């Protein structure tokens, strides 16, 4: 009976098996544990990469929105400055007449 948490790999080249055994021995763990950790790490990195890609897309969208909002603010600032200049042009002659 094969459990959902089990994987059996057949026909691995001998040199690969020997290398896995050496790497496991260096970490003082069994070859099975070493391969298990490799697979877990690989699967986790795939999930992390997918999340990273999604966050990158969201960040790029937010940057575009912020740039658009910044352009609107700049246009509004220029318009506001123009209105202030116009008001000052009207008010300055009135103020100079009163003094």
Cα 85 vs. chain centroid, distance in angstroms? 44
Cα–Cα distance, 42 to 23 (Å, whole number): 16
- Which of 4-8, 21-25, 47-51 is predicted most confidently? 21-25
pTM: 0.48
pLDDT tens, position by position, 48-67: 888 889 999 999 999 999 99
């Amino acid at each position: 009976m094969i459990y959902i948490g089990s994987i059996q790999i057949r026909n691995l080249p001998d040199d690969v098996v020997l290398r896995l055994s050496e790497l496991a021995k260096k970490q003082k763990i069994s070859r099975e544990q070493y391969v298990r950790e490799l697979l877990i790490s690989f699967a986790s990195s795939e999930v992390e990469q997918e999340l990273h890609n999604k966050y990158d897309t969201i960040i790029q969208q937010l940057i575009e929105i912020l740039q658009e909002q910044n352009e609107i603010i700049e246009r509004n600032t220029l318009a506001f400055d123009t209105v202030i200049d116009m008001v000052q042009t009207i008010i300055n002659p009135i103020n100079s007449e009163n003094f």
